[in-house]
A and B are shown apart, each in its own frame.
Chain A
Amino acid sequence: GENVEQHPSTLSVQEGDSAVIKCTYSDSASNYFPWYKQELGKGPQLIIDIRSNVGEKKDQRIAVTLNKTAKHFSLHITETQPEDSAVYFCAASIGGGSTLGRLYFGRGTQLTVWP
């Protein structure tokens, strides 16, 4: 099955700096890559996603890039703020058949933004 690796496991940045989280996947059939933010006591919240026919997507301070050849994708957060502090999960999905679009998650990155 699909294997998703995520790095780093922890990331500390100063407010206003940029943060980058990287993920790799193993199955070239994966074609959908969401990113989730999970705050303490909450469920995972979808913050951005990208499909395999797109190389980059941006939403305000958040961007995701995808390199299908290398099988890796990254989350970029610019101008970080303390409220960006949370655990971030990447995921990959293979559609169709018995997989039913199931998500394969990375192990998560604890991002801390210091004021």
Chain B
Amino acid sequence: DTEVTQTPKHLVMGMTNKKSLKCEQHMGHRAMYWYKQKAKKPPELMFVYSYEKLSINESVPSRFSPECPNSSLLNLHLHALQPEDSALYLCASSQDGGGQADQPQHFGDGTRLSIL
């Protein structure tokens, strides 16, 4: 079992809906990440939080809004998504939030999102 827990596992929503994805880790990690993964492709970085502050936004459209309420939780708020946003959304965490390269990132099993 993964130590990064994501809910829900599956989500189907219409283009006008508002929903949120949740991620939780209890490893004491100080960096948390959101990735988007399309079928048969590697994960693409969306956001990085370091010590609960947004550090990297990879030019993600504003219909995706991340939030880090505390060091263990990470949310991704979704609004007015497009069909091309259908994908697997992965959360990851790593121990150090200070930019050290050699801190392993641990992934959750993702939320499979389908936009109707």
B101 A93 Cβ-Cβ under 8 A: yes
Min CB distance B38 to A, Å, is 11
- B59 close to A (CB within 8 Å): no
B104 A49 Cβ-Cβ under 8 A: yes
Distance of A34 Cα from B41 Cα, bound (Å)? 17
Min CB distance A6 to B, Å, is 9
Size of chain B's interface in residues, with CB distance under 8 A? Answer: 29
B110 A108 Cβ-Cβ under 8 A: no
B100 A101 Cβ-Cβ under 8 A: yes
Distance of A31 Cα from B100 Cα, bound (Å)? 10
Contact with A along B18-35 (1 / 0, CB 8 A): 000000000000010000
Closest to B4 in A: A43
B105 A34 Cβ-Cβ under 8 A: yes
Min CB distance A107 to B, Å, is 6
- A105 close to B (CB within 8 Å): yes
- B48 close to A (CB within 8 Å): yes
Distance of A30 Cα from B101 Cα, bound (Å)? 8
A31 B42 Cβ-Cβ under 8 A: no
Within 8 A of B (CB), among A69-115: 87, 89, 93-103, 105-108
* Residue ranges of B at the interface with A (Cβ–Cβ < 8 Å): 2, 4, 6, 31, 40-43, 45, 48, 50, 55-56, 90, 94, 96-97, 99-110
